[in-house]
């Protein structure tokens, strides 16, 4: 990589860190290309990303962002997972780490809040924004459905009474 390519990569990563809601740092030493591809595909499908970059360049990109505290975690073969949804990247990374003992979650950050490995695992156990939205819509719709049922009940009872009266009468 020449100097211009490195500067472009640092600028790109800085933009990523400015937009991301969460960043997770993980060690990937010993993973095969197939396993790394599997992780990247899962991340992409969920709307997250996983990048492997040079630690020195990543430190430069972290400088001046909310995630600057992660610089000390960048030692050895490290990958960075990030997403706009604060739960998606941690969830996929933690699930992948459970299946692959060579993949180790080191920590992460959510804005200026630094997380250790246990913090990332706790974040991964929360429902995603889409799941929360679905639950909220269900809660909002449930009372409306019940109100409609209650309002229809007297009308249907009246119709049955009138029908019975007509049959008798």
**pLDDT tens string 131-157:** 777 877 776 777 766 666 666 667 677
Please say whether the beta carbons of 21 and 85 come within 8 A: yes
Please check whether residues 109 and 141 belong to one and the same domain. Answer: no
Whether the pLDDT of residue 89 is over 70: the answer is yes
Q: pLDDT > 90: what percent of the chain?
A: 39
d(CA 147, CA 166): 29
Please check whether residues 39 and 88 belong to one and the same domain. Answer: yes
Which range is most confident: 91-95, 123-127, 143-147? 91-95
Whether the pLDDT of residue 10 is over 70: the answer is yes
Please check whether residues 114 and 32 belong to one and the same domain. Answer: yes
Tell me the β-bridge partners of 141: none
* DSSP-H helix ranges across 47-128: 55-62, 88-99, 117-124
Q: Write out the two tokens for 91.
A: 């969830």
Q: Strand pairing of 22-27 and 78-83?
A: antiparallel
The residue with greater pLDDT, 99 or 165, is 99
Q: How far is CA 96 from CA 14, 23, 157, in A?
A: 26, 16, 57
The structural domain count of the chain equals 2
Please check whether residues 24 and 82 belong to one and the same domain. Answer: yes
Please check whether residues 73 and 109 belong to one and the same domain. Answer: yes
Range of the domain at 56: 3-126
Please check whether residues 89 and 136 belong to one and the same domain. Answer: no
d(CA 89, CA 48): 6
Q: Write out the two tokens for 163.
A: 């029908």
Mean pLDDT taken over the chain: 85
Please check whether residues 66 and 135 belong to one and the same domain. Answer: no
Please check whether residues 51 and 107 belong to one and the same domain. Answer: yes
């Amino acid at each position: 990589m020449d100097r211009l390519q490195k500067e472009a990569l640092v600028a790109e990563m800085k933009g990523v860190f400015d937009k991301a809601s969460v960043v997770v740092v993980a060690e990937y030493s010993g993973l095969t290309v197939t396993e790394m591809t599997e992780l990247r595909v899962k991340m992409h499908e969920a709307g997250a990303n996983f990048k492997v970059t040079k630690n020195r360049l990543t430190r430069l990109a972290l400088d001046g962002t909310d995630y600057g505290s992660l610089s000390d975690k960048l030692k050895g073969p490290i990958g960075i997972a990030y997403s706009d949804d604060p739960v998606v990247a941690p969830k996929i990374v933690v699930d992948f780490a459970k299946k692959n003992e060579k993949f180790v979650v080191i920590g992460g950050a959510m804005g200026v809040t630094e997380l250790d490995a246990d913090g990332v695992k706790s974040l991964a156990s929360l429902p995603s924004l889409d799941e929360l939205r679905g639950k909220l819509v269900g809660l909002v719709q449930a009372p409306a459905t019940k109100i409609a049922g209650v309002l229809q009940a007297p009308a249907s009872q009246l119709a049955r009474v009138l029908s019975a009266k007509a049959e008798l009468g």
